[in-house]
Amino acid sequence: MVIAKVSGLLLLLGLYFGLFVLGPWYADIRVQAVLAGLLLGLHVLRHGLRATWTAMAFVLPFVLSLLAFGVLFQWLELLGRTDWIADSLIKSLVFPNSFLAVKLALNAITFRDIVTLPLPEGLGHSSIVLKAVLEKGTPLLHRHRFFMDLSPHFDGRRWARVYRLAGLIVATYIGLYRETEKTQALLSHRLSCTRKPQ
C-alpha cells in the first residue's frame, strides 16, 4: 500500500513536469494560471491559509525578480527579442507552480511511509534525515530573514539589500548544514537505543 502511494505520488510529479514544465502546456499562460489556482487551493485545504501565505512569501522575491528582468530585457531588446515580458510572465507562474507541486508531493510522504518502505538501511536513513531537514528549512529561513532585516550592520551601505540577501543565503546554508548534522546524530542515537541485541 505504501509502495503504491509513493509510486503514485512520484508518477503524478513526473506527469506534472512532463506536461507543464517540459511539455506542451509550458507556454500556455491560461493553463498555467488555472493550475496555479488549483495548486493554491489544494495547499490551503491541506495546510491552511497561513502556511500557504508563508510558502508564497518565500517564492515572491524570485517571481518579482523574474518579472523585473523581463521588463528590463524587453526595454533593452536584448538579443533582438521582443517577447521577454511574455516569457517572464510564464516563468513567474511555472516557478511557484513547480514549487507547490513538489512541496505537496513531499509533504504527502510521511515518516511512517519512509520507515515502511523496503529501502536499504543507508537510503532509508538518508530519506528520514532529508525529510526532517526540509521541514525545518522554511522556519529556519524565515528566522534568519527576520534577524537580517533587524541587523544594523548593512544600514547605510550601498546595495544593502543585496548584502542582506547574500547573508541570508549563507546563514541558511550553514543552519541547514548544522540541522542535518544534528538530525543524523539524533537518528543514529535513537537507532542504537532501539536495536535489539544480537
pLDDT beyond 70 at 197: no
- pLDDT surpassing 80 at residue 102: yes
| Vertex 26: Cα angle to 66 and 72 (nearest 5) | 25
Residue 69 C-alpha cell reads as 528582468
Residue entry with cell 532509508: 124
- CB under 8 Å, gap of 24 or more: what pairs does 107-116 form? 107/46, 107/47, 108/5, 108/9, 109/5, 109/6, 109/9, 113/2, 113/5, 113/6, 116/2
Burial readout 120-137 (b: 16 or more C-beta within 10 A, e: otherwise): eeeeebebbbebbbeebe
Distance between CA atoms of residues 67 and 176, nearest Å: 29
Domain chopping of the chain, boundaries: 1-109, 120-198
What is the rounded CA–CA span in Å between residue 144 and residue 121?
A: 34
pLDDT of residue 38: 92
Which pTM value belongs to this model? 0.66
| Whether pLDDT at 4 is above 70 | yes
The pLDDT of residue 55 is 77
Q: DSSP H helical segments within 77-120, as ranges?
A: 84-108, 111-116
Rounded to 5 degrees, what angle do the CA atoms 24, 65, 28 make? 15
32-50 confidence digits (pLDDT tens): 899 899 998 988 988 888 8
Judged against a pLDDT cut of 70, whether residue 80 lies above it is answered with yes
pLDDT of residue 85: 80
Say which residue, 105 or 139, is predicted with more confidence. 105
Region of 80 on the Ramachandran plot (φ > 0 left; ψ -120 to 50 alpha; else beta): left
> Is 105's pLDDT higher than 80?
yes
Which pLDDT tens digit goes with each residue over 115-171? Answer: 776 766 666 666 666 667 666 666 776 677 777 777 777 677 777 777 777 777 777
Q: Which of 127, 169, 162, 107 is nearest to 144 (CA)?
A: 169
| Whether the predicted pLDDT of 198 surpasses 50 | no
Mapping DSSP to helix (H, G, I), strand (E, B) and coil, where does residue 62 land? helix
Q: By the 8 A CB rule, do 84 and 74 touch?
A: yes
> Mean pLDDT, the chain, as a whole number?
77
